[in-house]
Amino acid sequence: MPDLLLELFSEEIPARMQAKAADDLRRMVTDKLVAEGLVYEGAKAFATPRRLALTVHGIPARQADLKEERKGPRVGGPEAAIAGFLKATGLSSLDEAKIQSDPKKGDFYVALIEKPGRATIEVLAEILPVIIRTFPWPKSMRWGARSARSGSLSWVRPLHAITATFGL
């Protein structure tokens, strides 16, 4: 199983913020991985005056395929309910849905939804920028000409480099 290495190189991080920042980085990345269905074997974060680093070991190369059953309206139910069910599940017609019987409630439609898992590298490319942009520093700053715009990156000190590798 592949490993992730993330290193954030900046100007000197205040000493009182280093340990908490390393812990926050580990927590934020691992929580997002688990939320995306990527269970890992272990994670370790490190902090130095100019670097925050994280290693996550044993991440699967792909997300697992998802199979979900979604219960719909009763057979012969209102047209609006059936149309909403088809739209929400992505089915083109009721022929694609199963009919399940319930002795107390009667027959109802059930959609079997299958979502193929994405490659982990795609998931990481999506979540890592969000984590870096929303990192919870007690104080942060902007730097450079492009930082004047709202929504630009702010960090405890100017960032010089971000390195992220994923592989064996």
Check whether residue 50 and residue 127 sit in a common domain: yes
Structural domain boundaries enclosing 125 = 3-62+117-167
Task: Count the alpha carbons within 13 Å of 64 in the hemisphere toward its beta carbon.
Answer: 9
- Per-residue pLDDT tens over the stretch 78-98: 888 888 888 888 888 887 888
User: For the chain, what is the domain count?
Assistant: 2
- Per-residue pLDDT tens over the stretch 92-150: 888 788 888 878 878 888 888 888 889 999 999 999 999 999 999 998 888 877 777 77
Two tokens at 75? 């057979």
The secondary structure of 32-46 as a DSSP string is: HHHHTT---SEEEEE
- Give me the pLDDT at residue 113, please: 83
- Give me the pLDDT at residue 160, please: 93
Q: What is the pTM of this model?
A: 0.76
CB atoms within 10 A of CB 28: 19
Check whether residue 54 and residue 102 sit in a common domain: no
